[in-house]
Structure 1
Amino acid sequence: MPTLRPPGRVPRALTAGTALVTLALLLTGCGGDSEAATATGDAAGKVTVGQLSNGAARPTTLDVPEVKALHAELPAAVRARGTLVIGVGALPSGFPPLAYVGGDQKTLTGAEPDLGRLVAAVLGLKPELKNSTWENMFVGIDSGRTDVAFSNVTVTEERKKKYEFASYRQDNLAFEVPAKSTWTFRGDYRALARKTVAVGSGTNQEKILLEWKDRLAREGKRLTVKYYQDSNSTYLALASGRIDAYFGPDPGIAYHVRQSANTPRATRNAGTFSGAGAGLQGLIAATAKKDSALAKPLTDALDHLIRGGQYGKWLAAWNLSDEAVPKAETDPPGLPLDNS
């Protein structure tokens, strides 16, 4: 999974996920692209999502016939080639549940490659996955070797200088608590008074949490922030009651909630918060080279999946329904330049 670095070098919504949900499944070819094996084996007009997920998803077969009118929107070169080259930045290791090596130890699985396959089916194209490091994923787009990235990329105004976007998921953070906890976060920082919360150091969510801590301190209330070196330590502290909650990326928390279900350390999602802060809902988007003429057909294909219900079933399969958007947008407002 990508290391903990500022946005622009790693998938923004996963900046704390490394310490908490990284799988020790190293992929090959860390320096550049690798042709990613992908579990297709689908009949024409059908796509099965959630395959080889190691329990992170419920395998679900969806009807996804080609839409000729959307195929016609594609640039001529893409139509002639007949493939959609999809970039994923999951080297050197995956970031579950979004992109990681599946149960067969070779196939790239996850919510992001699955959505790329759904979009390709709608557009009447064969999906071709290319896995790489986060940095090389953008190099692939810049060079034209990759058509589009489905890799948890947050829309920012800075990135709009080079790329065009088709949004498909909210960029959310979340609070994870023991399943037996009755505490819920509904967006008001004052609910954190007298709580002890773990967070990843140097992350976007740490920045937000420390701002809330300062606000509470000015109001004469206390929020205690804790740091742990690895996921085991964090979840041991959560299970033993040394902390009340963990604040991290919503997809990583969704993964752990499903993995811990029906165990003595079962957890639940206690509420989400936009990764962009209170003033703007952050959005995750398919990312193509600026002026590639791909953003509109990608947006229309995503909207088709939303209206047809396949989108909702894809999110549900990966336990990400709380990140649903009502519609896809081309180049929606992104994180401002002073927060990109």
Structure 2
Amino acid sequence: MFSELPQSVQEAGTINVASNVEYPPFESFDTDGTTIVGIDRDIADELENQLGVTLEFNNIAFDAIIPGLDSGRYDMAMSAMSDTVERQKQVDFVDYFSAGGGIMTGTANAESIKTLDDLCGKAVGIVKGTTEDADAAEQSAECEAAGKDPLKVTVFAGQNQAVLALQSARTDAFLVDSTSGSVIAAGSKGQLVQGPRYQDLAFGIVFPKESDQLTEAVQLAMGEIKANGAYDRILADYDMADHSVDDFPINGVTE
């Protein structure tokens, strides 16, 4: 599939990938502090096999990903980013994972905070630039409209800081993708609980607008790693088989 790539990528031999590397099981640093591991890195390895070029990950803040793509600094992004109609105004997506937003709490609040309505008046952490950022603002407005106290939102630059705030009881809840949240909660030694999804989402590999040739080449390569079994094997390796998809639409989210 090398010939399907833009000439500039063929000549460079490298695709520069933006990623916020603190989002297990999608991307995180291994115990050596430098090696990137996770679903996205494993998929990237398979994409390398199909496309014949290197996918080089660059660790940046989540809210810097879209500006970095728009400026041309990065060719694409793999960072468990939700495909939304609003984001499609700035970037394009190849959807590859079925996910959903969820509420993480400490064990003390697990029974009293289970839905978005339970967050009224509570201290809530979110990561800047995520879909949960918008969810928190929308829910806060709904609380006020119902005559209740709004959410007390704290915006964090990264997921690790948001988790630490929850563990230290500086926040009552953390709005986070339920997939990543489940992994974090499982490794918290009983400190944290990940509640059920409150919405369904699709994660996508992200591309700058006017980058149709690269977008379509990656979409084609994703189809190949689905056909050869690698995609489903990777998700199964992380106990995420129930989040797999059958095809990989471009900008598949329409509402």
TM tier, shorter chain?
0.5 to 0.7
Given that residues 283 and 334 in structure 1 are in contact (C-alpha distance below 8 angstroms), is that contact kept between their aligned partners in structure 2?
no
Instruction: State the Cα distance separating 1:256 from its structure 2 match.
Output: 1.2
1:324, CA displacement in angstroms? 3.5
- Give per-residue Cα distances to partners, 1:305-324, cap 9 Å, x unaligned: 33444323333444555644
Provide the rounded CA distance (Å) in 1 between the counterparts of 2:112 and 2:80: 29
Of Structure 1 and Structure 2, the greater strand share is in 2
Q: Is the 8 A contact 1:166 1:287 kept in 2?
A: yes
Of structures 1 and 2, the one scoring higher in RCO (CA 8 A, sep 6+) is 2
1:17 equivalent in structure 2: none
Q: CA deviation at 1:103?
A: 1.4
**Which structure has the greater CA radius of gyration?**
1
CA 1:149–1:334: 2 relative to 1, 3 Å:
farther
- The answer as to 2:5 corresponding to 1:74 is yes
Say whether the 8 Å CA contact 1:169–1:325 is kept in structure 2.
yes
Name the amino acid aligned to 1:75: P
Task: Tell me if the contact between 1:87 and 1:140 (Cα under 8 Å) persists in the aligned partners.
Answer: no
| Aligned-partner Cα distance in 1 for 2:208–2:120 | 44
Distance in 1, Cα, partners of 2:162 & 2:14: 37
Partner of 1:37: none
Percent identity between matched residues is: 19
Counterparts of 1:308-327 in structure 2, within 5 Å, are 308-318=228-238, 320-321=240-241, 323-327=243-247
Amino acid in the other structure paired with 2:136: E
CA deviations on 1:262-302 (whole Å, 9 max, x unpaired) are x343x55431133xxxxxx5432222233321222212222
2:16 aligned with 1:86: yes
User: Considering only aligned residues, what root-mean-square deviation do their CA atoms show, in Å?
Assistant: 4.3
Give 2:187's match in structure 1, choosing from 252, 259, 265.
259
Give me the whole-angstrom Cα distance separating, in 2, the residues matched to 1:306 and 1:102: 26
Deviation sequence 1:138-189 (CA, Å, 0-9, x none): 46544555332212333344544453321112452113465xx78997xx87
Q: What is the letter of the counterpart of residue 40 of structure 2?
A: E
Check conservation: 1:194, 1:223, Cα contact below 8 A.
no
TM-score by length of 2: 0.68
Give unmatched runs, 5+ long, in structure 2: 155-160
Aligned to 2:214: 294
Q: Secondary structure at the match of 1:152?
A: strand
| Residue of structure 2 equivalent to 1:338 | none
- Distance across 1 between alignment mates of 2:119 and 2:32: 45
Report whether the alignment pairs 1:199 with 2:124.
yes
Q: Who is 1:234 aligned against?
A: 166
Unpaired segments of 5 or more residues in structure 1? 1-69, 275-280, 336-340
CA distance in 2, matches of 1:317, 1:212: 40
